């Protein structure tokens, strides 16, 4: 098996274990998305019970793997642990330091780690296709007027328009 793939799988498992280990029943947690679905069951496709706003304080009632049963005092339901923070997030920026609204970001902001140094590294490591893919993506992005992205996000209920 590919060593990088094996390492990636191990890293993913370790991070998933770390997510659920950071939360314990009886403690508080905060939503870290513009809107977070409170679900009826601990399943990705479960029926939403409510939509919670950004930085909503919740009490953790139960931990089931990477799922947390939480309550805001009025409602109770399940949220994937990756959608919560143990600390109250900033009121103006997300956990990644970027503005909360997708409309306030750009594709170049999202691809910020892909600097010329990163491109050079990818070419030395035989990942030149990734650099070419990024250049193609940046060219395609330059062809899109800003309003078309906004229109798409609104019509498909994506990003902050969920």
CATH 2.30.30.40 occupies which residues in the chain? 3-85
This model's pTM is above 0.75: no
Class of domain 3-85 as given by CATH: mainly beta
Q: What is the 3-state secondary structure (H, E, C) of the chain?
A: CCHHHHHHHHHHHHHHHHHHHCCCCCCEEEECCCEEEEECCCCCCCCEEEEEECCCEEEEEEEECCEEEEECCCCEEEEEHHHEECCCCCCCECCCCCECCHHHCCHHHHCCCCCHHHHHHHHHCCCHHHHHHHHHHHHHHHHCCHHHHHHHHHHCCCHHHC
Residues 108-162 pLDDT 10s: 445 455 566 666 666 676 666 666 777 777 777 778 787 777 788 788 887 777 7
Residues 2-45 pLDDT 10s: 455 444 444 444 444 444 457 899 999 999 888 899 999 999 88
């Amino acid at each position: 098996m590919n060593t990088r793939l094996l390492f990636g799988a191990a890293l993913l498992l370790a991070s998933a274990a770390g997510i659920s280990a950071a939360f314990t029943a009886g403690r508080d947690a905060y939503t870290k998305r513009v809107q977070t679905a409170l679900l009826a069951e601990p399943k990705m496709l479960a029926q939403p019970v409510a939509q919670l706003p950004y930085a909503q304080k919740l009490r953790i009632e139960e931990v089931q793997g990477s799922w947390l049963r939480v309550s805001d005092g009025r409602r109770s339901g399940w949220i994937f642990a990756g959608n919560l923070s143990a600390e109250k997030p900033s009121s103006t920026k997300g956990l990644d330091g970027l503005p909360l609204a997708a409309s306030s970001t750009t594709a170049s902001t999202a691809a910020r780690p892909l600097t010329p140094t990163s491109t050079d590294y990818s070419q030395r490591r035989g990942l030149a296709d990734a650099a070419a893919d990024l250049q193609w993506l940046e060219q395609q992005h330059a062809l899109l007027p800003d309003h078309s992205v906004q229109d798409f996000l609104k019509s498909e209920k994506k990003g902050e328009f969920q």
